[in-house]
């Protein structure tokens, strides 16, 4: 009896160990599935009356339970797409900073922003796997192109600076610039409770209609 119990315990520990080792891979695969599913969806017009969250202190850390909840959620509303070809970023853009939506894309940091005008600020997660969500953002360099579409036009921005800032330094989100600017924010690393943020700023370069030629940036 003791031998059977001993064997069963070791088998259980082995199964738990394999699961824990596989968990990061499973989480990353689930997030990539969410991204692909959303990118195949339809862009809708931004609802300025939507009760969205813009308090980034309420953004939760990524967990297995939050990923599971996002998979079964059907409330995602994509208002655009963003592409940074140089670092293989291709993600949905959502209105606000909804925790479930941030597991498949990025969110706007201020209400009623307009592409091509003012300081358009976007935030996203930096995962341990730096190939998904906004993880690759720190790899961009000055001059890299960033493309964003609202389903009607494609706005091209060119990276002007990459800076590491404190998580509480929010002036860059509300700051106004002479030239239309795009501000991208993510954690400086995939480490939990990371205190710093990577900030990428880019200046508007051109605006073109969304057509077969310009849609290629988002595939």
74 is catalytic: no
Name the residue with tokens 């509303």.
Answer: 77
205, with CB counted inside 10 A (0-12, 13-18, 19+), is middle
- Contact partners, residue 70, CB within 8 Å, separation at least 6: 34, 100, 101, 103, 104
Helices (H), 40-62: none
187 is catalytic: yes
End-to-end CA distance of the chain: 59
Strand, coil or helix: 83: strand
Exactly one of 74, 76, 126, 187 is catalytic; name it. 187
Helices (H), the chain: 2-39, 64-71, 171-174
Exactly one of 33, 74, 76, 125 is catalytic; name it. 125
What residues are annotated to the active site? Answer: 125, 187
């Amino acid at each position: 009896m003791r031998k059977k119990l001993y064997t069963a315990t070791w088998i259980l520990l082995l199964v738990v160990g394999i699961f824990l080792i596989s968990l990061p891979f499973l989480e990353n695969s689930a997030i990539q599935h969410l991204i692909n599913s959303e990118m195949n969806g339809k862009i809708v017009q931004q609802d300025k009356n939507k009760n969205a969250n813009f308090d980034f202190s309420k953004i939760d850390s990524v967990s297995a339970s939050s990923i599971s909840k996002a998979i079964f959620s059907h409330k995602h509303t994509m208002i655009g797409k963003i592409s940074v070809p140089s670092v293989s970023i291709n993600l949905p853009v959502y209105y606000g900073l909804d925790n479930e939506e941030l597991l498949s894309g990025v969110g706007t940091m201020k209400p009623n922003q307009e592409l091509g005008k003012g300081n358009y600020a976007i935030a996203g997660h930096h995962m341990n796997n730096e190939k998904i969500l906004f993880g690759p953002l720190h790899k961009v360099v000055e001059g890299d192109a960033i493309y964003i579409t609202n389903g009607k036009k494609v706005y091209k921005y060119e990276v002007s600076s990459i800076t590491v800032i404190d998580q509480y330094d929010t002036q860059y989100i509300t700051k106004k610039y002479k030239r239309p600017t795009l501000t991208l924010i993510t954690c400086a690393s995939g480490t939990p409770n990371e205190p710093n943020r990577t900030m990428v700023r880019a200046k508007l370069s051109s605006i073109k209609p969304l057509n077969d030629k310009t849609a290629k940036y988002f595939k």
